Amino acid sequence: MTKIIFMGTPAFSVPILRMLIEEGYEVVSVVTQPDRPVGRKKVMTATPVKEEAIRLGLPVYQPEKLKNQEELQRVLDLQADLIVTAAFGQILPSELLEAPKLGAINVHASLLPAYRGGAPIHQAIIDGQDKTGVTIMYMVDRLDAGDIISQVTVPIKEQDHTGSMFEKLSSAGCDLLKATLPSIIEGTNKRIPQEEQFVTYARNISREQERIDWSKSARAIYNQVRGLYPWPVAYTSFNQANMKIWWTEKTSSTENGQVGQVVSTTEDAILVQTGDGILAITDLQPAGKKRMTAKEYLKGPKIQVGDLFE
């Protein structure tokens, strides 16, 4: 039987691990990121993949850095036939990529060669794409540059956000891997080199990318907010403090004001002038407060027409 090492970390990876077990593959070890402190109380928290691996009774290994020779050797000693990764969160050293006789494959959440990198789902939504997908690919020692084995396209609907697309793409990736794995193991799969002229990148989201630039169009800001929902969440400045903007809605309002200015309020929204059109803020979180709807926020005398977001 083919010996597989599975490497993954977030909830995106969990259905894929579960599928491998349900389909009867021999997963000899699950490699995931170390437990990390989470929340204000810094509670040490296991990754979703670790929790699922324990539930399935699988051995778990949590190396800090696989480039460390001692930690790398522990994985090499498993002598796996195939490595399957899905959002693992570390770059694998070439020594590890070359060790399994069937290679190392990755379930990547984009239609490669578009959106190579660690934030392909976020970036596709921020860019206003109407479709993305999943690619099964061989891993090489360059970022997401290996040969493509199979792909599936997934539409991005108008109300989709990063959270909803994570679920859709995880499910699509699970089905695609299930259909593709037999050909990989039998050595009958395709290898399609990526066309370098079409390469784009989706690096990890920076703090600056989370800040709203109100001079952009209402459409661009709407895409940014849903692309950063439910994490890490877009933010703006109001009265010299940061305010998270959890959700917005497009509007046909024809009111006019200065960029970033509150032009009006309704019962459940704060209408703000952008560089092109009016955007309605419907969910927000002032600094040091809990998330709330605009309707809840507007019950207090906290904002007035003419105030500015920066």
Binding site as annotated, residues: 110-113
Please name the residues in contact with 160: beta carbons below 8 A apart, sequence gap of 6 or more: 125, 168, 226
Terminal Cα-to-Cα distance of the chain (whole angstroms): 59
Residue with tokens 């930690």: 71
Q: Are 30 and 59 in contact (CB under 8 A)?
A: yes
In angstroms, the CA 190 to CA 3 distance is 21
User: Which amino acid type is present at position 168?
Assistant: K
Binding residues for (6S)-5,6,7,8-tetrahydrofolate: 110-113
Rg (CA), the chain: 22
Centre a 10 Å sphere on the Cβ of residue 168 and count the other Cβ atoms it contains. Answer: 18
Alpha helices of the chain — where are they, by DSSP H? 14-22, 48-55, 69-76, 94-97, 120-126, 162-186, 207-210, 218-227, 294-297
Q: Are 105 and 185 in contact (CB under 8 A)?
A: no
Centre a 10 Å sphere on the Cβ of residue 123 and count the other Cβ atoms it contains. Answer: 24
